[in-house]
Structure formats: structure tokens, C-alpha cells
Amino acid sequence: MLIKKMQVEHPTTPGKYNGYSTAQIYRQLDWLNKSGIVSKITVEEVKAYGINETNPNAVYLVLTTTDKRKVHLDHLFNTFDEQDSDEKKDTLDEFNVYASSFLLTPDRLDALTQFFTDADEELTSKLLNIFYNHQRFNKIEPSNTCDFLDILHDLLKKYPTGLSIDPNFRRNLIFLLSHYQDPIIIEQIKFDLKHGLLTQYKEQYLEAASIIDQYSEELFECYRELRRKAKPEQRQALLELIKSAVKKSSNPKVRDDNFAALNSSPLPKNLKIKMPRLGGRR
């Protein structure tokens, strides 16, 4: 990948410029590796960067500073259960700062779920943010879906209107439940209607189009009930939500403008280096 990119960006111009040959690129990469500027990592190690490599012979290169940082962050993760609550919060903050170059594997996310138990609101918020960022931007999620869903259910029951210390907490929670197409989303919409909150939280359900479409007839019963209860604003919000969900569900390419700004984080540039083993055949 890297070799092809360099050769495309530096093409040979007859009589003027020779461009980069494959042999030249190999020599330079070999020099960078021997000089300690970059490090080779294994296929297993590359999983920590959110890359699911299936070729056992693939070799990835990362900046040595990135590799050293990973060692430090690995240590923080491995000692996480020994840290007190405040230390855990600081560790999670550090994980988020380096999220573009340090990702947790599904097994590690599984290990983190136990710390939701007895966590205060701040730690709960920081933990959930880790899971949200991994799923939304890198498509990495815990391997034990059942246990994780139980945790999400408990959090929604405990904090149905979110956390005052984190305005994004409920959004993150609804997003994760929407990802799993969990019917509890419908019960939460009914909760919002009952308490006059749907106009405030409607946009949080934009990723729940499929499950809302599936239960649209049930939600239309709520829509009719709102007429009898003379709640026009909540009624209109529900109608708009159902219409948006049906449209998006029937055409997956349709994205609501409110989510257009939530772009996926790109992989760090130093991870886009994939090549045969250094010194091997061209």
C-alpha cells in the first residue's frame, strides 16, 4: 500500500525524474527500521490499533514513539483494577486522548464492563464514552453482547434523562442501544413522551430508524393518544421521528443532516503502511 502510494505520487518522468523504484523504497524503510524511527509490529499487535488483519504474513510499521506509548497505555490497562476511582478516571481520559493510535480489543472492552458496578457518575460517564467511541468511530465492541446489553439497560433505568455532568451521556447510551436494535428504545421513547421530553431528545433517536420502523404501528397508537391528551408538541415530534425512521429504514443511504457532522475518525497515517516483509522478494 505504501509503495504504491509513493510511486503514484512520485511517478517517473522520462529524461527528468526517475521516481521511486520498489527497491529504493525497501532500502529506505529498512533504514528507518534499523535506525529506530519506525518499528515493525505483528498481526496480533495491530489489532490494538483497530485493524483486523487476516494475512498472517502482513507486516505493519508504526512510529517508534507510538509503539512506546502503547507499552505505557498497556501498563495502565493491565493495572486498571488496582487503581482507585480517581486514578481510573485519569486513565480513561488518557485513553481518549490517544484514541486515534490506541484502541481496545473486544476482550479488553469485556474486561472494562465490570467497572460499571459501583462506579460514580463521573466514572460511569467516562467508561461509557470509551464504548461509544470504539463502536461509533472504529466499529469495535465487546464480544460479550448479552452482558453489555444488561449493563446498558441498567444505565438507562438508572439515568433515564442522562447525567447533568455529561450532556452527551444519554446520547451515547441511546446510540449504543440503537446499534443493537434493542426494543428498550421504544420504551424510552414512551418515557420521553410521558414526561414531555421527546421534543428535547428527538435527535438522539436518529440512529434507531430500523427499530422505530419495526414498532411504528405501536408508536402510532401513542400518537393518537397524544391527540386525546392535547399534547401537540410531543405529538408532532413523534410524527417527525416516525417519518424520518421509515424514510431512512427504506433507504439506508439517507442520512439525517443532524448526524452529517459526526464523521468517523480516520486511522492514523502511520498505520497505513502495509508491505511484504522487509528484505523479502519484491
pLDDT in tens, 242-257: 999 999 988 756 444 4
Q: In the chain, pLDDT over 70 holds for what percent of residues?
A: 84
Grid coordinates in use for 139? 466499529
User: Helix, strand, coil: what percent of the chain each, to 5?
Assistant: 65, 5, 30
Query: What was the pLDDT predicted at 272?
Result: 40
Query: What was the pLDDT predicted at 167?
Result: 96
Whether the predicted pLDDT of 14 surpasses 90:
no
- How does pLDDT run across 145-196, given as a tens digit for each residue? 999 999 999 999 999 999 999 999 999 999 999 999 999 999 999 999 999 9
Q: Whose CA is closest to 104, among 46, 61, 40, 49?
A: 49
Query: What was the pLDDT predicted at 1?
Result: 66
Of 1-5, 42-46, 131-135, 262-266, the poorest mean pLDDT is in 262-266
Grid coordinates in use for 248? 431512512
Whether the CB-CB separation of 169 and 128 falls below 8 Å is answered with: yes
When pLDDT is averaged across residues 86-103 and rounded to a whole number, the result is 92
Query: What was the pLDDT predicted at 57?
Result: 78
Grid coordinates in use for 69? 506509548
Query: What was the pLDDT predicted at 265?
Result: 37
Whether the predicted pLDDT of 114 surpasses 80:
yes
Query: What was the pLDDT predicted at 257?
Result: 43
Q: Please indicate whether residue 246 or residue 29 has the higher confidence score (pLDDT).
A: 246
When pLDDT is averaged across residues 19-32 and rounded to a whole number, the result is 80
Whole-number Cα distances in Å, 195 to 64, 127, 202, 215: 54, 28, 13, 20
Whether the predicted pLDDT of 22 surpasses 50:
yes
Phi, psi dihedral angles at 45 (to 5 degrees): -65, -30
When pLDDT is averaged across residues 83-103 and rounded to a whole number, the result is 93
When pLDDT is averaged across residues 47-71 and rounded to a whole number, the result is 74
Q: Please indicate whether residue 204 or residue 15 has the higher confidence score (pLDDT).
A: 204
Q: With both helix axes pointing from N to C terminus, report the angle between 64-78 and 85-97 in degrees, rounded to the nearest 10.
A: 160
Report how far residue 173's alpha carbon sits from residue 128's, in angstroms, rounded to the nearest whole number. Answer: 7
Residue count (the chain):
282
Pairing of strands 274-275, 38-41: unpaired
Report how far residue 165's alpha carbon sits from residue 122's, in angstroms, rounded to the nearest whole number. Answer: 7
- What is the average pLDDT value for the chain, to the nearest integer? 85
- H or E segment and range at residue 40: strand 38-41
Query: What was the pLDDT predicted at 250?
Result: 84
Query: What was the pLDDT predicted at 55?
Result: 83
Whether the predicted pLDDT of 68 surpasses 50:
yes
